[in-house]
């Protein structure tokens, strides 16, 4: 029987609103936890890493990160291999790209390193914050799998995905590959 897995939600800058797929997924999980950094609008990498650390309470967890949250999770996992079952990293940004948020300069220091934990990077072919080739390179640097989901922009509320059932299917498939299931 598969192991039940919890979710730890790690949004990007400015958090994820009620219309974002992350918030919708969190609402369906009784034990899902969202990180609580000091600031969503002026993010600091060390603070977000500490927030991820505080939010993860069990190794039977999959971290679901979006955008800037992917960089925080990548940095945390590089120092905490094996602390969770896996990580779904959706739409990581290009930390040196022109669209990278000026309010998050410390995130540019998040050097990609092998995560030591199963991970899956999900990227859009037309993400304005990260070219597909950069996303592939980032996935390889992290030692993560890679899935391209077509033209979905930044895979956020502007993409009008609602609860993003196709993404949820990716999460469920990923959990199954880890010998678990999301409750």
Task: Write out pLDDT tens, residues 47-80.
Answer: 999 999 999 999 999 999 999 999 999 999 999 9
Give the single-character DSSP code of 57: -
User: Which residues partner with 89 through β-bridges?
Assistant: 65, 121
Closest CA to 171 of 16, 163, 139: 163
Domain that holds residue 26: 3-182
Element (H, E) at 142: helix 132-142
Joined together, the tokens standing for residue 62 give 């999959």
Given this model, what pLDDT does residue 1 score?
78
Joined together, the tokens standing for residue 174 give 């990923």
Given this model, what pLDDT does residue 34 score?
98
Given this model, what pLDDT does residue 96 score?
96
- The number of distinct structural domains making up the chain is 1
pLDDT in tens, the chain (183 residues): 788 999 999 999 999 999 999 999 999 998 999 999 999 999 999 999 999 999 999 999 999 999 999 999 999 999 999 999 999 999 999 999 999 999 999 999 999 999 999 999 999 999 999 999 999 999 999 999 999 999 999 999 999 999 999 999 999 999 999 999 997
Cβ atoms of residues 63 and 82 within 8 Å = no
Distance of alpha carbon 30 from its chain centroid, rounded?
Answer: 19
Q: For the purposes of burial, counting CB atoms within 10 Å of the CB of 7, is it exposed (0-12), middle (13-18) or buried (19 or more)?
A: buried
CATH of the domain at 34: 3.40.50.1820
């Amino acid at each position: 029987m598969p192991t039940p897995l919890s979710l730890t939600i790690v949004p990007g800058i400015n958090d994820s609103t009620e219309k974002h797929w992350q918030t919708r997924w969190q609402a369906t999980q009784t034990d899902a936890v969202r990180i609580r950094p000091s600031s969503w609008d002026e993010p600091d990498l060390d603070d977000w890493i500490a927030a991820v650390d505080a939010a993860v309470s069990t190794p039977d967890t999959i971290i679901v990160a979006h955008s800037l949250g992917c960089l925080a999770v990548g940095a945390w996992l590089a120092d905490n291999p094996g602390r969770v079952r896996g990580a779904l990293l959706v739409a990581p940004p290009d930390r040196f790209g022109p669209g990278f948020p000026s309010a998050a300069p410390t995130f540019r220091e998040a050097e990609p390193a092998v995560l030591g934990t199963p991970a899956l990077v999900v990227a859009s072919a037309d993400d304005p914050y990260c070219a597909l080739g950069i996303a592939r390179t980032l996935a390889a640097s992290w030692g993560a799998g890679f899935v391209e989901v077509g033209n979905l922009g930044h895979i956020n509320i502007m993409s009008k995905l609602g609860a993003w059932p196709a993404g949820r299917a990716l999460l469920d498939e990923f959990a199954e590959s880890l010998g678990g299931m999301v409750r």
